[in-house]
Amino acid sequence: MPYDSPLREPCYGGKAACLADVSRISLGCDVADRELNGGLRTDGLHEFYARSRQDNVAAISFALLIGQLCQRRDGRALIWAREVQVARNDGNPYGPGLAGIGIDTRKLTLLTLPDAKAVLRAALDAARDAAVAVVVVELAGRQPQLNLTATRRFALAAAEKETMVLSARLAASPVPSAAHSRWQIASAPSRACEAHVPGAPAFEVELLRQRGGRDGTSLVMEWDGDSASFRLGNSAATVPPLPRHRPAMAAGGTGDMRRASAA
């Protein structure tokens, strides 16, 4: 299918037939799963918008952790596509940091591409590959090319190949799209731990939209590395967030992800 070809809707069997065929991944947080009718679709497109410039790392981290949940159950590879400019502004992923929160870097391929057009082309090709479980698309700023038609194309590819497509949008405002769910993500304070060790990664999340379901839910979610799942966080936490100047998820240096490859 050419990159700019028209799309059809992924399901023609009616609402009941579509819902019956949907595969979902539980986030592990009962409140979130209940609002999502059991979890996120594993054959759909989901968007994660950073609430502010300071929340860019939180947005991409949340998307990657969602992808890891799907990849662990599915077993196929995870592709992460991003622009060179994003890497220059936010730094390169830090391999030990990714592994430290449970992301299997052996099943992760990082694509750093020259511009948004190349990112979208590569991501769409990956979404159409039956060997891929998850495609994470990281883009910054307004992206005219990522319009309603383009997002419908991703939604169709996800449905046809049973691939989860996760779009992390940095420094951008939500726009109409064909996404099955749309989220706003911000970093949240970690809970206090004994001996003042770093707390679990925490996120303030707001479900802005979900197709065929209720939206508007806001909550704090923490990532539990031991169980590899999310849990309800403490919205009243008073401990300051972990330092943002060198986050584990996106810190440049000798320990970056240049050696990551698909299994």
Per-residue pLDDT tens over the stretch 18-34: 444 469 999 999 999 99
More confident: 64 or 3: 64
Question: Considering only CA atoms, which of 238, 229, 184, 224 is closest in space to residue 27?
Answer: 229
- CATH class (in words) of the domain with range 26-232: alpha beta
More confident: 235 or 34: 34
Looking at residue 107, what is its pLDDT?
A: 87
Residue 56 has pLDDT above 70, yes or no: yes
In the DSSP assignment, the letter for residue 195 is G
**pTM of the predicted model as reported, rounded to 2 decimal places:** 0.80
Q: Where are the domains of the chain?
A: 26-232
Strand residue runs (E) in 1-44: 24-25, 40-41
Per-residue pLDDT tens over the stretch 114-171: 999 999 999 999 999 989 999 999 999 999 999 999 999 999 999 999 999 999 999 9
Per-residue pLDDT tens over the stretch 79-91: 999 998 887 777 7
Q: Which amino acid is at 35?
A: E
d(CA 251, CA 241): 17
